[in-house]
Amino acid sequence: MKIKNTRFLLLLFALLALSLGGCREAPEAHVHDLVVTEAVEATCTTSGHSEEQRCLSCGQVVVQAKRQPALGHALSADWIIDRHATEDTAGEMSRHCTVCGERLTVTAIPRLVPPSEGLAFALTEEGDAFVCTGLLPGERVTELHIPSSHLGLPVVAVETRAFMDNTAIKSVIIPESIREVRKAAFSGCSALSSIQLPDTVKYIADNAFYNTACYNNASLWQNGALYLGNHLISVRPSTVKGRYVVRDGTKTVSGQAFFQCTELTDIQLPSSVVSIGNSSFYGCRSLRILNLPETLEIIGNGALAYCSALVEFNLPAGVREIKSNPFPGCNALQRITATEGNPIYHSEGNCLIETAEGRLVAGCVTSKIPGDGSVRTLGTACFYQCGSLVSLTLPEGIEEVGISAFHECINLREISLPSTLNVIKEQAFRGCAALTEVTLPVGLEVLEDGVFCYCENLVTVHLPEGLRDIGADAFAFCHDLRSLELPSTLKTFGVDALQQCLLLETETYGNCRYLGDWVIGAVNTEVESVTLKPTTVGIYSGAFAGCHNLTSIELPESVRYIGDQAFLRCWKLTELRIPEGVTHIPRQAFAYCTWLKTLYLPSTVESIAVGALLDCTSLSAIDYAGTTQSWVRIQVEANWDKNTGNYTLISH
């Protein structure tokens, strides 16, 4: 410690001090003789302090030093290989402090073992790496070593169920290149007793090692927890009560690790954890306190699903990937925040938002979706089973409602949709039992499969002009649905879209039931003949399926759209003419029409789907109104005419 002695106007004040008789008698005239203690910078491991000043004569502290706590190490993101592994010896790698350079974490690199033969691989979507998908047919391996590269590209993941129920594998070496072990990858490998799992693995999904010899080895479970290397695989619920501390050095918390630990109230994760897997804390209904470390990078699907006591969630700045809504069914959740500085995600209005994509990842009962254009898409399952949600307004600028976005929000009574919306993805409002009326905005083009299925109290749906596609099961099991007016712009009407909508108000014409200009079915399956409205635009999927006695039907020239399985199993139908303007013959449109001899196709046909003429065993002629050259340009799917009669193609 250095001290410097500074005296101000020494001679003058010495004379003044003599005349006044010292500090006590005349403090008002005393001038401090200052001694300065210099500041000391804090380091990673030692504390520091700011400058302090005090009077040498009277002892008074003029400037108080402020203590600065030790900074703590900043662990490097990347590992440094200190000693490479060979076939004979293990290697070693470490991570250092980016501030002081101290070597902090050291781990072994398993010795090099020749990669196993007979493995199968699949290229990632990005095309820059491979995923190991398992063994090739007929291959058998007891000691499995997954290579770190294949065809010059890294192997980065073990695919879902890649080696599931393989009873021959006894050991596995997973290389440092692997970042992800996916769902049930080694589940049921009952002989698998040795697993080398490096620290470089960043994510382990649920049941990846379930029911392996390791998993079933009681001696490997310590204090009710199973670790493989530095990865927490599973915890027995009976051993978890109150606060639980995950051991230092843990890298990942696997999917379903704390599954149904119903008495867990507080989880302490060390700063080494980089991921929590899908459904890691599923059903931890007493969990109230959750402090996620800044080192966390990945959060799996439904990681906190049904943590019904959780009130607040804060996303650390280090998180780079959230696979989907982390907390479905968390009905007590009131506050969602993201630490400032996260480059991928931010929060506003108790919404968790992927910034660049404008995707709302997750919301809660108190969410107010910002209307400043920062949200353009509602992500997959973003309000999944939010049972306390009653009403919500989606602001202008939102273009898409994602898959299962409001799935089983059973108390949702009112949803306001913006004019910018153009697609509602599959199952988006499935099981929203409190919905009674929905108005879909002008501009909406697509309703995917099952969008409103099982909305059992839904009475009225207002469909806009401009709507082009209604998917399969879109309104299935909406038992109270009465009013549905189809727009003139509708092109596809999916299979079973109206299944069990028994109260739906329809029009009857010529032994057919109609919604607008779409025929949705015969009055019963025993009809022998039907007459269609001259303004008929479309034939609903499965409209005449199973009408075994139907011998003939004339499609008016106004028909433009034919649904999947429209004439499925119309056994006695012998001839059918498809009018000009129809461009697509859909899946199994005439499948099992075993008496059908002649099918007239228009020159406008551009595509024919799989199974369109499946088992039309009597087919003798396809009369195509176009030329031979245009016929070969039609896009046909495999097996479109499987098991037909030996028909002749007639072109013009």
> What does the DSSP 8-state code read for residue 528?
S
Give the integer Cα–Cα distance in Å for 209 and 362: 29
Mean pLDDT of the 178-189 span:
97
The enclosing domain of 518 has a CATH number of 3.80.10.10
Give the integer Cα–Cα distance in Å for 37 and 54: 8
Query: 41 and 165: one domain?
Result: no
Contact, 101 vs 129, CB < 8 A?
Answer: no
For residue 233, being part of any structural domain is answered with no
Query: 27 and 164: one domain?
Result: no
Is 7's pLDDT higher than 50? no
Contact, 331 vs 388, CB < 8 A?
Answer: yes
pLDDT, residue 391, reads 96
Which pLDDT tens digit goes with each residue over 533-580? 999 999 999 999 999 999 989 999 999 999 999 999 999 999 999 999
**Three-state DSSP string of 105-171:** EEEEECCCCCCCCCEEEEECCCCCCEEEEEECCCCCCCEEECCCEECCEEEEEECCCCCCCCCCCCE
For residue 609, being part of any structural domain is answered with yes
At 14 the three-state DSSP class reads: helix
Domain end, chosen from 189, 216, 243, is at 216
Structure-token pair, residue 223: 């204090």
pLDDT, residue 355, reads 97
Structure-token pair, residue 293: 């470390």
- Domain extent, residue 530, equals 506-652
Q: Which residues contact 351 (CB under 8 A, 6 or more apart)?
A: 336, 360, 362, 363, 367, 368, 369, 370, 375
Is 185's pLDDT higher than 80? yes
Contact, 250 vs 226, CB < 8 A?
Answer: no
Total number of domains constituting the chain? 3
pLDDT, residue 95, reads 81
Which pLDDT tens digit goes with each residue over 405-459? 999 999 999 999 999 999 999 999 999 999 999 999 999 999 999 999 999 999 9
The strand pairing partners of 92, in sequence order, are 83, 108
For residue 44, being part of any structural domain is answered with yes
**Which spans in 112-219 are helix H?**
none
Mean pLDDT of the 18-32 span:
56
Query: 60 and 121: one domain?
Result: no
For residue 487, being part of any structural domain is answered with no
Per this entry, what is the length of the chain? 652
pLDDT tier, 11 (very low <50, low <70, confident <90, very high otherwise)? very low
The strand pairing partners of 513, in sequence order, are 508, 521
Query: 130 and 190: one domain?
Result: yes
Query: 541 and 631: one domain?
Result: yes
Give the integer Cα–Cα distance in Å for 338 and 294: 11
Strands 538-539 and 561-562, how do they pair? parallel
Mean pLDDT of the 134-162 span:
95
| Lowest-pLDDT range of 8-12, 95-99, 422-426, 493-497 | 8-12
For residue 35, being part of any structural domain is answered with yes
End-to-end CA distance of the chain: give it in Å, rounded: 103
Query: 49 and 162: one domain?
Result: no
Domain end, chosen from 185, 216, 247, is at 216
Query: 46 and 183: one domain?
Result: no
Strands 203-204 and 391-393, how do they pair? unpaired
Which pLDDT tens digit goes with each residue over 68-111? 888 888 878 677 888 887 766 778 888 888 888 888 878 777 66
Q: Which residues contact 408 (CB under 8 A, 6 or more apart)?
A: 384, 385, 387, 430, 431, 432
Contact, 117 vs 139, CB < 8 A?
Answer: yes
pLDDT, residue 101, reads 85
Closest CA to 3 of 45, 71, 65: 65
Give the integer Cα–Cα distance in Å for 74 and 101: 9
The strand pairing partners of 104, in sequence order, are none
Output phi, psi for 525, to 5 deg: -80, 0
Contact, 146 vs 132, CB < 8 A?
Answer: yes
Is 24's pLDDT higher than 70? no
pLDDT tier, 1 (very low <50, low <70, confident <90, very high otherwise)? very low
DSSP 625-637: SS-HHHHTTSEE-
Query: 106 and 198: one domain?
Result: yes
Is 2's pLDDT higher than 80? no
For residue 520, being part of any structural domain is answered with yes
At 291 the three-state DSSP class reads: strand
Instruction: Quote the mean pLDDT of the chain.
Output: 92
Mean pLDDT of the 298-322 span:
96
The burial class, CB within 10 Å (0-12 / 13-18 / 19+), for 223 is exposed
Give the integer Cα–Cα distance in Å for 573 and 550: 6
Query: 63 and 125: one domain?
Result: no
Query: 521 and 580: one domain?
Result: yes
Q: What is the percentage of the chain residues whose pLDDT exceeds 70?
A: 94
Domain end, chosen from 187, 216, 245, is at 216
Query: 63 and 98: one domain?
Result: no
Give the integer Cα–Cα distance in Å for 413 and 396: 20
For residue 542, being part of any structural domain is answered with yes
- How many other β-carbons are positioned within 10 Å of the β-carbon of residue 163? 26
Query: 64 and 109: one domain?
Result: no
For residue 498, being part of any structural domain is answered with no
pLDDT, residue 87, reads 66
At 185 the three-state DSSP class reads: coil
pLDDT tier, 113 (very low <50, low <70, confident <90, very high otherwise)? low
pLDDT, residue 56, reads 82
